[in-house]
């Protein structure tokens, strides 16, 4: 993840952090402060963890995948589409699991 004085802070107040089997997602979060990750995530490359973690943390502030969310993804990860594409390819090879990101 980017270490830059101009990078927006991703600090959040978590109520719950969990790792569990997830059939259709790599991770999920809720407005109640719950953050869950797929138990299959640790088997992936650390760059893909970064993508999934930043993706979910941004949803605590930006609930959709609009222009602001995409801009913040780029600020934190640069060309994040590379990791996104790789996760989609992995999900396609494991169908029907992991077809969505949030």
Residue 102's pLDDT is what? 53
- In angstroms, the CA 44 to CA 87 distance is 9
The radius of gyration of the chain's CA atoms, rounded to the nearest angstrom, is 13
Residue 11's pLDDT is what? 81
| pLDDT exceeds 80 at position 85 | yes
pLDDT, one tens digit per residue, over 30-76 is 989 999 999 999 999 999 999 999 999 999 999 999 999 999 999 99
| pLDDT exceeds 70 at position 14 | yes
Strands 16-20, 34-38: pairing kind? parallel
Residue 98's pLDDT is what? 46
Rounded to the nearest integer, the mean pLDDT of the chain is: 86
């Amino acid at each position: 993840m980017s270490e830059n004085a101009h990078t927006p802070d991703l600090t959040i107040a978590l109520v719950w952090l969990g790792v569990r089997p997830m059939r259709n997602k790599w991770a999920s979060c809720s407005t109640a402060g719950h953050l869950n990750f797929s138990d299959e995530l640790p088997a992936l490359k650390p760059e893909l963890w970064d993508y999934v973690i930043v993706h979910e943390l941004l949803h605590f502030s930006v609930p959709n995948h609009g222009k602001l969310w995409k801009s913040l993804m780029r600020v934190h990860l640069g060309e994040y589409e590379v990791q996104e594409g790789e996760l989609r390819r992995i999900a396609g090879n494991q169908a029907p699991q992991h077809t969505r990101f949030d």
